[in-house]
Amino acid sequence: MKLVIASDHGGLRLKKELVEQLAKSGHQVEDVGTNTEASCDYPDFAHAVARKIVAKEFERGILVCGTGVGMSIAANRHVGVRAVVCSDTYTARLSRSHNDANVLCIGERVVGSGLAWEIVAAWIAEPASTDERHTKRRSKIEV
């Protein structure tokens, strides 16, 4: 899968681990920053990923910050982005199946690297449901 990933300083370590795991799993990954531990503004990186998703340059995106919340809020400002914060595999799977989430947000300060990888793997593997009830509901998201 073709993925774009970014983090702020609060998610840098976990992002690096995820990039390595994703590459080992055969995914094409573009890291759009940050690359230092210097304090930075999470919206800049959320917008960078969201723009690439909206432009259809990548199938899906991953954002990592301290909690995942700020990244999610910023990314969801873009029409066509459905960013979700996940801290467990169940939510990750259903965010794909029911909501066709195209950006996954994870908090480095919330989940450890092992669980984070399980969340990412579950989210990547889950297809969007084609069941009419889910497609109808998704169509109501874009206003």
Ordered by start, the domain boundaries in the chain are 2-139
Residue from 27, 40, 78, 98 carrying the catalytic annotation = 98
The mean of the pLDDT values for the chain is: 97
Residue from 65, 78, 86, 134 carrying the catalytic annotation = 65
Q: Are 19 and 56 in contact (CB under 8 A)?
A: no
Q: What percentage of the chain reaches a pLDDT higher than 70?
A: 100
Q: Are 8 and 40 in contact (CB under 8 A)?
A: yes
Confidence of residue 90 (pLDDT cuts 50, 70, 90): very high
Instruction: Give 105-143 pLDDT, tens digit per residue.
Output: 999 999 999 999 999 999 999 999 999 999 999 999 877
Q: Identify the bridge partners of residue 60 per DSSP, sorted by sequence position.
A: 3
Quickly name the fold that domain 2-139 has: Ribose 5-phosphate Isomerase B; Chain: A, (3.40.1400)
Tokens of 97: 């199946």
Q: What is the pLDDT of residue 142?
A: 78
Catalytic: 27? no
Q: What is the pLDDT of residue 1?
A: 96
Confidence of residue 41 (pLDDT cuts 50, 70, 90): very high
Q: Which residue has the tokens 């940050």?
A: 34
DSSP state for residue 101 in the 8-state scheme: -
Instruction: Give 19-28 pLDDT, tens digit per residue.
Output: 999 999 999 9
Query: CA 82 to CA 109: how far, in whole Å?
Result: 22
Q: Residue 53 pLDDT > 90, yes or no? A: yes
Q: Torsion angle, CA of 104/108/110/111, rounded to 10 degrees?
A: 80
Query: CA 81 to CA 102: how far, in whole Å?
Result: 6
CA angle 78–82–85, rounded 5-degree value:
115
Confidence of residue 50 (pLDDT cuts 50, 70, 90): very high
